[in-house]
Amino acid sequence: MRILMFGATGQVAREVLRRAGPGVQVHSLSRAEADLEDPAACAAAIAGAEADVVLNAAAYTAVDRAEEEEARATVINGEAPAAMARAAAARGLPFIHISTDYVFAGGGTAPWQPDAATGPLGAYGRSKRVGERGVTAAGGVHAILRTSWVFSAHGGNFVKTMLRLSETRDALNVVADQIGGPTAAADIADACLAIAAAFRTGGGQSGIYHFSGAPDVSWADFAREIFARAGRAVTVTDIPASQYPTPAARPSNSRMDCSSLETAFGIPRPDWRHSLADVLKELSP
User: Cβ(192)–Cβ(98) under 8 Å?
Assistant: yes
Q: Which of 60, 102, 124, 209 is catalytic?
A: 124
Nearest of 194, 61, 136, 48 to residue 27 by alpha carbon? 48
The whole-number pLDDT of residue 21 equals 87
Edge-first strand listing for the sheet containing 179-180: 217-218, 179-180, 253-254
The residue type found at 93 is: L
DSSP H helices in the chain: 11-19, 39-47, 70-74, 80-91, 123-138, 158-166, 185-200, 219-230, 259-265, 272-283
Do the domain assignments include residue 174? no
Nearest of 279, 153, 159 to residue 219 by alpha carbon? 159
Phi, psi at 159, each rounded to 5°:
-60, -50
What range does the domain containing 6 cover?
2-151+184-212+256-270
Q: Is the dihedral of CA 144, 147, 152, 158 positive or negative?
A: positive
Contacts with 202 (C-beta within 8 Å, 6 or more apart), sequence order: none
Contacts with 183 (C-beta within 8 Å, 6 or more apart), sequence order: 147, 148, 149, 150, 151, 211, 212, 213, 270, 272
DSSP assignment letter at 271:
B
Here the CATH number for the domain that contains residue 49 is: 3.40.50.720
Contacts with 118 (C-beta within 8 Å, 6 or more apart), sequence order: 103, 104, 105, 129
Rounded-to-10 torsion of CA 31, 136, 214, 148: 40
pLDDT at 173 over 90: yes
Do the domain assignments include residue 52? yes
The whole-number pLDDT of residue 273 equals 98
In tens, the pLDDT along 181-218 reads 999 999 999 999 999 999 999 998 999 999 999 999 99
Do the domain assignments include residue 39? yes
CB atoms within 10 A of CB 94: 24
Do the domain assignments include residue 158? no
Do the domain assignments include residue 285? no
DSSP H helix total and E strand total for the chain:
10, 13
Do the domain assignments include residue 172? no
pLDDT at 285 over 90: no
Q: What's the total number of domains in the chain?
A: 1
124 catalytic residue (yes or no):
yes
pLDDT at 272 over 80: yes
Mean pLDDT of the region 141-166: 97
Do the domain assignments include residue 219? no
The whole-number pLDDT of residue 31 equals 82
The whole-number pLDDT of residue 102 equals 97
pLDDT > 70 fraction of the chain, expressed in percent and rounded? 100
3-state secondary structure 188-211: HHHHHHHHHHHHHCCCCCCEEEEC
Mean pLDDT of the region 165-188: 97
Mean pLDDT of the region 4-29: 94
In tens, the pLDDT along 26-81 reads 999 988 888 999 999 999 999 989 999 999 999 999 999 999 999 999 999 999 99
* DSSP three-state, residue 123: helix
Do the domain assignments include residue 102? yes
DSSP assignment letter at 174:
E
